[in-house]
Structure 1
Amino acid sequence: MPNLDRGLIQIYTGNGKGKTTAALGLTIRAIGHGFKVYIIQFMKGSADYGELEGLKRLSPECRVESYGGKGWVHKGLQEEEHVLEARKAFKRAREIAVSGEWDIVVLDEILNALWFELLAEDEVLELLEIKPPHVELVLTGRNASDRLLEKADLVTEMVSQKHPFDQGIVARKGIEY
């Protein structure tokens, strides 16, 4: 029996820090109530992200898969590897979401994959329409389009007021990654 009668669509977007962190906070809260959460990470295939080790400890209620090519993606100059990895991630995300077996499906950084034109927005919009009614879908990343914002039930924009990077402090293990 599903944990939710009605699953909504959430978007965490904006240029500020905290989009993935917010989705992971939701993950922890939901698991505490017996929910099952599946996380698909887009554009995060080759880095050492601390959340991956932490999330393994929440298995089997939480599963995570990461996809992405090596190096940076440059808009308009996408390498085939980046496009193929994004397509694989989306195919898997669609399988997981429409299966109805998971209460919450987090599509981490999918908005970035859309902005970098690694995926077609129409396919993501279709997924929002065909997801089972009891599945909560969470999309994170910068540059959410107006069409996606319109479909969402909850939109949170992270706004950077001040960031250590602006002071020359590089990303710190355990804090930013």
Structure 2
Amino acid sequence: MTDTHAQKKARIKAARDRMMAEKTAEKGLVIVHTGTGKGKSSAAFGMILRCIAHGMPCAVVQFIKGAWDTGERRLLTGQFGDLCQFHAMGEGFTWETQDRDRDIAAARAGWEKAKTLIADPQIRMVLLDEVNIALRYDYLDLAEVLEVLAAKPPMTHVVLTGRNAKPELIEAADLVTEMTMIRHPFRAGIKGQAGVEF
């Protein structure tokens, strides 16, 4: 039994080694985290921390929820400000501001900052947190966003998070992950908590 298992795993390893040997290209990726489940921004911030651990300059532009005092913002600005720029540009969820013109102005200011960061080849990853929400409500021009992503420096990664990613953005992306909600404590009357939600 053990010999059969070892032989099977040896065949799998040889196949994996061949497959990995063929993968030699590198490029900056367009990455989309979307879906109704929790974890889109959390996963993206995990990537930002990986960049920091590798000494790679990176940047965050927060759309929509930029007014929040979040743990990731505290950590990145307090401990890693030399490697990670952090720009909280939103004013809160749309039901909080209740002012479409103000929401559009905040999203556009965030997008102007994002364009500058994306164009800088020294910055290896730019996280556009909750930008999909700004695109969903037409606060930003999707065609312009796609144009900027297509023209980004070749080794720059751009991560776009938020529910309801536009189909055109999904089509243009190199990596797309959809978070699916199965259960969420909010539905059981439990509020968002530090360390889990923010």
Q: Same fold (TM over 0.5)?
A: yes
Counterpart of 2:90, as a letter, is G
Specify the structure having the higher radius of gyration (Cα).
2
Q: Which residue of 1 aligns with 2:90?
A: 68
Contact 1:73-1:116 within 8 A present in 2 as well: no
Aligned mate of 1:90, from 98, 101, 111: 111
Distance across 1 between alignment mates of 2:26 and 2:83: 19
How many residues in Structure 1 have an aligned counterpart in Structure 2?
171
Distance, in Å, in 2 between the alignment partners of 1:69 and 1:29 is: 28
Q: Which residue of 1 aligns with 2:182?
A: 161
Q: 1:174 Cα shift? A: 2.3
Q: TM-score, normalised by structure 1?
A: 0.91
Counterpart code for 1:61: L
Report the AA paired with residue 59 of structure 1.
G
What is the root-mean-square deviation of aligned Cα atoms in Å? 1.6
Cα offset for 1:149?
0.5
Identity %: 39
1:99 correspondence with 2:120: yes
User: Corresponding residue for 2:4?
Assistant: none
Residue 18 in structure 1 maps to residue 16 in structure 2: no
- Tell me the TM-score normalised to structure 2 length: 0.82
Superposed CA offset, 1:70-103 (max 9, x none): 5x415xx752111101000000100110121200
1:98-137 aligned at under 5 Å gives the runs: 98-137=119-158
Instruction: Tell me if the contact between 1:103 and 1:136 (Cα under 8 Å) persists in the aligned partners.
Output: yes
Which residue is equivalent to 1:46?
Answer: 67
Unaligned runs of at least 5 residues, structure 2: 1-24
Q: Distance in 1 between matches of 2:163 and 2:53?
A: 28
Question: Is this contact kept in 2: 1:14–1:141, CA < 8 A?
Answer: yes
Q: 1:137 to 1:100 in 2, by over 3 A?
A: same
* Structure with higher helix content: 2
Structure 1: tracts of 5 or more residues without a match: none
1:37 aligns with one of 43, 55, 58: 58
